[in-house]
Amino acid sequence: METYLSSFPFIIRLSAIRTRVDGVYDKDPEHHADARRFDRVSYREVLDRNLRVMDLTAITMAQENGKPILVFNMNERGNLRRLLVGEPVGTTVADV
């Protein structure tokens, strides 16, 4: 179950999704050992490939408002700090 975290748009300008996995994959990594993680993926590819990052309405709203989405594992120690200081963590969903 993911948790959708709305960031302060005037500070971070993105939305973050906390998940049990460390990003967006081409298939469920909990059931497929050969799943590949994306570092960056477009909104369109998320929708076309039905990658199930979040619901269709949320993806569409983020795209229409030009808000990138960051999908990351908040349970991994240090990931929130890495996110806040701008280090790479998880997968970014945005116009590519």
Q: What is the pLDDT of residues 40-77, one digit of tens each?
A: 999 999 999 999 888 888 888 889 888 898 888 888 89
Q: Six-digit token pair at 69? A: 């989405």
Do residues 88 and 37 make contact, with C-beta atoms less than 8 angstroms apart?
no
1-43 pLDDT per residue, tens: 344 444 444 344 556 665 677 899 999 888 999 999 999 999 9
Counting the structural domains of the chain, the total is 1
For the full predicted model, state whether its pTM sits above 0.75.
yes
3-state helix, strand, coil in the chain (%, to 5): 20, 25, 55
CATH number at residue 25: 3.40.1160.10
Domain membership of residue 61 as a residue range: 3-93
What's residue 13's pLDDT?
A: 54
The residue length of the chain stands at 96
Do residues 18 and 3 make contact, with C-beta atoms less than 8 angstroms apart?
yes
Beta strands in 20-84 (DSSP E): 24-25, 37-38, 40-41, 69-73
What's residue 91's pLDDT?
A: 92
